Chain A
Amino acid sequence: MIKSEYVIVGANVAAVGAIDGIRRHDTKSSILSISYEPIGSYSKAMLAGYIEGAAHQWLEYRGKGYFDRMGVKCLIGRRVTVLDIEKSRLLLEGGEEVCYKKLLLAVGGAPFKPAIKGAENKELVFTFTEFLDAQKIRDTLKKFNDVAVIGAGFTGTEIAYTLNKLNKKVTVVELGDRALVKALDPKSSEIAESLMRDEGIEFYLNDTVEEIAGDREITGVRLKGGKVIPCQAVVTAIGVIPNGQLISGTPLKFDRGLDVDEFMRTNIPDVYGAGDVVKAVDITDGQKRSLPLWPLAYQQGLVAGINMAGSMYPYAGGLPMNSLKFLKLPILSAGITTPPDASYETLSTGDPKNSFYRSLVLKDGRLKGFVTIGAIDGAGVLTGLIRSKIDVSGIKEKLLYKKRIGLMQLPRDWRNKIFTRRDETAYHD
């Protein structure tokens, strides 16, 4: 039996955040991190690079010695099978028992897999969320030339772009009427789509895959619209949903995400949650929802860690931020990019060649979201404006038209506090 003060299920970014957080206040107690994945603490956002041929060490974003340096014991490649809340223990595959005083569930998300006819028992049907997926794709790259990607969201476009770069013929099928519907507004979707079309990626919108044809080898996919696209591989990248596998059957509250309060506590004392598995506050509208995004996972982990070590430090809420790094033109967005109702105001500008585009979404004079393409330097100032909820109605034109956004337009007092005072940044500034 293993005993540890702190036990973290998961070893990825939320876990790293938690370790950073715990060690800020508690440098002595034992920490144990358990992950079923073959490598610890790697960057999921860089998996595309791994498929392209980078070494897996490159993915380890805190470096090899991180866990040792922080005094953290790791059980890598071990799966937790049972969570026994009542006895404060976990059972590992093989029956080993782990006892905890404080537990963090950072088990992440699972790829959403729609039921598609003919998807079972085929080697070249992939998902793309974790290292093992990437490894599978990388190992079988030689076995296919044409590939269909289901879903034109963030991961869908990224894997499509990556495979296209590796000289595969890529077709993207999307149920919605445009690509990247969550992250972008219609016009910027159009720009992103045309950038990908320019690279040779084909898009089928308003459509979905009904059947994956072929016996063991895939021969193609048949769309609902009737069209058949010949291919040898399929990647489903529709999205990630909170992974409730371990949680079901426990008294933990779980409804499309593990429910946590502002201190990242679950409904059970001494059990915390962070990362893609939880649903936490989205500051754009104050609602709790699952936002499977990298920076938020880290922040939630950090807040959870700080609180597990005995503090009461609130999580200020997450802001969806996206960055499309792989395209020719950089595309950044944050917050609400497509206004849900008429109470929002939308401003946009761009040049005819689509090398620059920017749109801002405001409500009651406050910035709620933006997209910027081409000119991205200083875009973080806009993110900061969303967070700080400063009235921008007087400066919105400048925020829209100035290519490089700076602090010049912000209130002098606010700016000078940043310039001259002691650092007081927190997640609520």
Chain B
Amino acid sequence: MKKVIIIEDFCIACYNCEVACVATHSRSEDPVKAYKREGLRGRSNAVVEVESPVAFSVMCRHCRHPWCMDACISGAIQRLDNGIVYLDEGRCVGCWGCVVGCPYGAAHPNLTVKDKHAFKCDLCIDRLEIGLKPACVEACPNRALIYDETMEKRAEVHTP
């Protein structure tokens, strides 16, 4: 299964993946409106971790055995036939089982009182359907995120 491969050697902490993620998952699909009008700040499924000089963006790994799904009491998280681990925000009851279950910290709680539910990467399922790559991959200016099958064949590249 293709997924987002993270090349931490080339993450430059520009946060473009976060903004692209938020914009893609907004109603307006516009970053400024998504942050300023739709209140989606902090709702990126990809989260950039920075501790200079190291940086990387982490999003759902779409595990074969998703811990988050096991812990989901409402059935909001299910593994689709194409391998995508999908969280239906409408069915989520905000029990945070996935948050405590995911060993990569890739399921996030939305703690705002109005709208308590978890959210996680859906691999931009809508974009994939029309032949596009996930938004974060497309937004990454330094190819630190790649949408690909596997990294086994690729020689590792390191910065000193």
- A residues contacting B by CB (< 8 A) are 17, 43, 45-46, 49, 60-63, 294-295, 298-299, 302, 321-323, 325, 330, 332-334, 376-381, 383-385, 387-388, 404-408, 412, 415-416, 418-423, 425-427, 429
State A429–B5 Cα separation when bound (angstroms): 19
Cβ–Cβ contact A294 & B97, under 8 A: yes
B137 smallest CB distance to A (angstroms): 13
Q: Which residues of B contact A425 (CB under 8 A)?
A: 61, 63-66
Majority SS at the chain B contact face: loop
Bitwise interface map of B from 77 to 115 toward A, beta carbon under 8 Å scored 1, else 0? 010000000000000011111111111111111010000
A49, A379, A380, A407: the one within 8 Å of B93 (CB): A49
Q: Is B124 part of the binding interface, using a Cβ–Cβ cutoff of 8 Å?
A: no
Q: Which residues of B contact A408 (CB under 8 A)?
A: 49, 51, 54, 56
Q: Which residues of A contact B75 (CB under 8 A)?
A: 43, 60-63
Q: Which residues of A contact B154 (CB under 8 A)?
A: 420
Q: Which residues of B contact A427 (CB under 8 A)?
A: 65
State A330–B116 Cα separation when bound (angstroms): 11
Cβ–Cβ contact A406 & B47, under 8 A: yes
Cβ–Cβ contact B7 & A418, under 8 A: no
Q: Is B1 part of the binding interface, using a Cβ–Cβ cutoff of 8 Å?
A: yes
Cβ–Cβ contact A321 & B100, under 8 A: yes
Q: Which residues of B contact A330 (CB under 8 A)?
A: 96, 109, 111
Cβ–Cβ contact A379 & B49, under 8 A: no
A43, A46, A420: the one within 8 Å of B6 (CB): A420
Name 27 interchain pairs, CB-CB below 8 A, sorted by A. A43-B73, A61-B74, A295-B67, A321-B100, A323-B95, A323-B97, A376-B96, A376-B99, A376-B111, A377-B99, A377-B105, A380-B100, A380-B102, A380-B104, A381-B105, A383-B67, A384-B104, A407-B49, A408-B49, A408-B56, A415-B56, A419-B7, A419-B56, A420-B151, A420-B154, A421-B150, A423-B61
State A17–B79 Cα separation when bound (angstroms): 13
Q: Is B152 part of the binding interface, using a Cβ–Cβ cutoff of 8 Å?
A: yes
List residues 101-160 of chain B with CB under 8 A from any CB of chain A: 101-109, 111, 149-152, 154
Q: Which residues of B contact A388 (CB under 8 A)?
A: 103
List residues 37-74 of chain B with CB under 8 A from any CB of chain A: 47, 49, 51, 54, 56, 58, 61-68, 70-74
- Give the nearest-CB partner of A298 in chain B: B70
- Give the nearest-CB partner of B116 in chain A: A325
Between B72, B73, B150, the greatest number of chain A beta carbons within 10 A of the residue's beta carbon is seen for B73
Given contacts A45-B95, A321-B101, A323-B97, 13 further A-B contacts (CB under 8 A): A60-B75, A61-B75, A321-B97, A325-B93, A332-B100, A379-B96, A380-B100, A407-B58, A408-B56, A416-B8, A419-B8, A423-B3, A425-B66
A60, A376, A387: the one within 8 Å of B109 (CB): A376
Majority SS at the chain A contact face: mixed
- B residues contacting A by CB (< 8 A) are 1, 3, 5-8, 47, 49, 51, 54, 56, 58, 61-68, 70-75, 78, 93-109, 111, 149-152, 154
Cβ–Cβ contact B150 & A419, under 8 A: no
- Nearest 9 pairs of A and B residues by beta carbon: A384-B103, A61-B75, A378-B105, A420-B151, A419-B6, A45-B73, A380-B102, A295-B71, A425-B63
A61, A295, A322: the one within 8 Å of B70 (CB): A295
B6, B62, B73: the one within 8 Å of A423 (CB): B62
Cβ–Cβ contact A422 & B103, under 8 A: no
Cβ–Cβ contact B150 & A380, under 8 A: no
A61, A384, A426: the one within 8 Å of B73 (CB): A61
- Give the nearest-CB partner of A41 in chain B: B75
Cβ–Cβ contact A383 & B100, under 8 A: yes
Cβ–Cβ contact A294 & B71, under 8 A: yes
State A381–B61 Cα separation when bound (angstroms): 13
Cβ–Cβ contact A380 & B99, under 8 A: yes
State A295–B101 Cα separation when bound (angstroms): 9
A260 smallest CB distance to B (angstroms): 18
Cβ–Cβ contact B99 & A420, under 8 A: no
A334 smallest CB distance to B (angstroms): 6
- Give the nearest-CB partner of A322 in chain B: B100
Cβ–Cβ contact B99 & A332, under 8 A: yes
- Give the nearest-CB partner of A296 in chain B: B70
- Give the nearest-CB partner of A61 in chain B: B75
Q: Which residues of B contact A406 (CB under 8 A)?
A: 47, 49, 58, 105
Between A332, A419, A422, A426, the greatest number of chain B beta carbons within 10 A of the residue's beta carbon is seen for A419
Q: Evaluate whether A421 and B67 lie within 8 angstroms (CB atoms) in the complex, with A323-B99, A406-B47 already known.
A: no
Cβ–Cβ contact B74 & A380, under 8 A: no
Q: Which residues of A contact B64 (CB under 8 A)?
A: 423, 425-426
B87 smallest CB distance to A (angstroms): 13
